[in-house]
Structures are given as structure tokens and as C-alpha cells.
Amino acid sequence: MNKKLVYLAPLILLAVMMWFLVRGLSLNPRDVPSPLVGKPAPEFTLPLLNQPGKTFSTKDKLGQVWLFNVWASWCSGCRTEHENLVYMKRTGRFDIVGMDYKDHDADAKNWLNTLGNPYEMVAVDRQGDVGIDWGVYGVPETFVVDKKGIIRYKYTGPITPEGINNILLPLVEKLEAES
Amino acid sequence: MKKALLLLLLLMAPGAQAAIETHQFDTPEQEAHYEKLIKELRCLVCQNQNLADSNADLAKDLRRQTYEQVKKGKTEDQVVDYMVARYGDFVRYKPAFKPLTWALWLGPFVILAFGLIVLMRFVRSRQTEPDNEIDEEKLKKARELLGDN
């Protein structure tokens, strides 16, 4: 009995290592968990793209559930995502603030004019400093912020219809029910 | 002449023109901190490069952040904490030692110790193989057979 166990040990060891390997292969390396989930959204005040002289501040959104979508006209993933954002806007269920990340104003305006504007407002982060504060490493990225100003979810990559129906809509409904 | 032409061509190669960032530091220590930090921090866009090696836009921005913070007199730990607060532990090439990473840091030593124990037991079991003590009676018989009285 004991001897059998000794012969089985390497096999068991191999199985454990294989498990780690297979698991590692099926992970998406771009899905870096954000340490900001559960923490207060980093505060900022930025100028608005379409309303010269006006600014957007995270404080303005306290008491509301909102989505913070980081995008840029040079980002191909954002183009894929855009029609889904427009759809979200049409449902009237989402309050989306956009942030134009390291972009040129003219390109961004052109983008919104041709593809439609799903945003309540668009803040402009030309240097990418606010992006760093929010831990942005690849656009598009979308954060869900609750009424208390806490980041509750980070959606990395282009939003898909499945993502809207399975993740974002249920989450926003849940957060709106919170006091 | 040929050599000069070759040199000219080499200088015109795109690699030779790659921008080299120059930073001014107040003290050599600051420069050393900066160099160490950008080697220890990972670029999140091209995930298998550190900030020092990467040419991605984000890496440039993070190098700038690192530079500004070092220049302001922040310690290495403070800069690393700043990055970890935003990008998570993944940004560190040298993970922190905490319960979540115990297996990572100690695992190899545990496996090494396990291997040593197995090896020691194996060696010892070979040493303690019973001595060939032949009992008297068999020895006597053998002598008789050999006719060596």
C-alpha cells in the first residue's frame, strides 16, 4: 500500500502541475484585475470636448450611478465598441461619461459627429494623467461608479451586447436600488 | 569612401534614430532610483517588458510619472506603491511578500527541501542494507566443502 503510494506520487505531482499549466493557458493576460474596484473613484476636473470653458468633475456625479468610458479616436477597439455604446444610450438606462484619452480634439469631434454621440458629456485628458490615476492601460476601458462615488466594476476592452445584457445592465440596476 | 558611405547608411537606420529620453536629476542617487524603478516596473501594454525597455505610449507616460516623482524626492517604495494602487501587483516584476504570494516566494524552497529529504532517505536506505553476516554453521559447511581445514 505504502509502496504504491510512492509510485503514484510523481503522477499526482504531474497532474497538479498540468492543472496549473492548463489554467494558465486559458487565462486572458490582458485581464489585469484593477485594484481600484471597491475604492473611491479618483477625483479629477477636466475640460469638456463640446462645451468650451466648461469642465466636468467627478464630484458632479455623486448620488448617481454612472459609467466612465475611456476612449480615443485612434483606438480600433473603440470603433467596435461604439455602436454598442450608442445602443446603451438609446435604452435610456445608462448614464455614460466619456473621456477622450490622449487624442486630438478635432479627431474626437469628427468621430462623434460621424458615429453618433452616446455620452452625456466628454471630458478631455490630453496628457493621459487622469488615465494613469484610473489605472488605464489600454483603451477602451469602462468603469461603473456607484452613488457614493465608489468604483464597483471595471470592464476591460470593447463592450459587447453580451457584456451589456449579462454584466452592465444587471449591475447598474442593482446599484440604482442601493441607497 | 565606401566605409564613410556605410557609416552614413548605418546612422540612417531607424534604430539609430530612436528617441533617447534625457532626464535631469538633482543627485546621482535620484538617477539610480529612477533607473532601478523603471527596470522593476512592468509595462502593462506589452506585458513582457519593463518600463525601461518598452516603447509603448503608456510606458513613456509611466516613465515620466516615475521621473517626476523621483525628482520630487519620493522614495522607491512610495513610487512603487503609487503604481500598485493604480495598476495592481501585476505592475511589479518583483512581487511583494504577502500571504497571497507566499507560495510563489517559498514554493521553490519547499520543493527543494522535499527533494533533499527524499534524496537523504534514499541514500541512507542504501547505507543501512544489512551486513552480510554469515552464520557460523554455514561458514563451517563452506569450509568443509572447500576442504580447507
Residues 6+ apart with CB under 8 A from B36: B76
Helix (H, G, I), strand (E, B) or coil at A56: strand
A101 touches chain B (CB under 8 A): no
Q: Which residues of A touch B57 (CB under 8 A)?
A: 102, 128
What string of pLDDT tens digits covers the 149 residues of chain B?
677 777 776 666 655 444 567 788 888 888 998 999 998 898 887 777 888 888 888 888 999 999 999 999 899 999 999 999 999 888 888 888 888 888 889 999 999 999 999 999 989 888 766 666 778 888 888 888 888 65
CA distance A164 to A103: 26
Contact assessment for residue A85 and residue A112, using Cβ atoms and an 8 Å cutoff: no
- Other CB atoms within a 10 A radius of the CB of residue A89 amount to 17
Task: Decide if A135 and B57 are in contact by the 8 Å CB cutoff.
Answer: no
From the list A32, A35, A128, the residue facing B85 with the nearest CB is A35
pLDDT band at A166 (very low <50, low <70, confident <90, very high): very high
Q: Does B57 touch chain A (CB under 8 A)?
A: yes
Distant-in-sequence, close-in-space partners of A42: CB < 8 Å, separation ≥ 6:
A36, A58, A130, A133, A134
B141 sits in which H/E element: helix B136-146
* Interfacial A residues in 104-163 facing B (CB < 8 Å): 127-129, 131-135, 137-138
Beta carbons of B86 and A128 less than 8 Å apart: no
Distance CA A36, CA A38 (A): 6
Of B45, B57, B88, the CB nearest to A35: B88
Which residues, in sequence order, are CB contacts of A127 under 8 Å at separation 6+? A102, B61
Grid cell listed for A60? 458632479
Residue A49, SS3 per DSSP:
coil
Between CA A149 and CA A175 the distance in angstroms is: 11
Q: Residue B61: which of A33, A35, A128 has the nearest Cβ?
A: A128
Question: DSSP states of A30-48 as a string?
Answer: T-PPPTTTTSBPPP-EEEB
- A153 close to A123: Cβ distance less than 8 angstroms: no
A69 contacts A99 by C-beta, under 8 angstroms: yes
Summarised one tens digit per residue, pLDDT across range A65-121 is 999 999 999 999 999 999 999 999 999 999 999 999 999 999 999 999 999 999 999
Q: Would you state the cell numbers that stand for residue A178, as one nine-digit string?
A: 442601493
In chain A, which residues have their Cβ closer than 8 Å to the Cβ of B104? none
Measured between beta carbons, the chain B residues lying within 8 angstroms of A33 are 88, 90
* Burial of A81 per CB tally in 10 Å (0-12, 13-18, 19+): buried
ipTM of the complex: 0.75
A32 in reach of chain B (CB within 8 A): yes
Cell (9 digits) for B138 = 554455514
Burial class (CB in 10 A: 0-12, 13-18, 19+), A142: buried
Give the number of A-B residue pairs with CB atoms closer than 8 Å. Answer: 40
Q: What is the pLDDT of residue B16?
A: 47
Look at B58 and A135 and tell me if their CB atoms are within 8 Å.
no
Is any Cβ of chain B less than 8 angstroms from the Cβ of A35?
Answer: yes
- Residues in chain B closer than 8 A to A32 (CB atoms): 44, 87-88, 90
3-state secondary structure A118-137: CCCEEEEECCCHHHHHCCCC
How many beta carbons lie within 10 A of that of residue A164, not counting itself?
20
B87 touches chain A (CB under 8 A): yes
Q: How confident is the model at residue A154 (pLDDT cuts 50, 70, 90)?
A: very high
Asked if B101 and B90 count as a contact pair (C-beta separation under 8 A), the reply is no
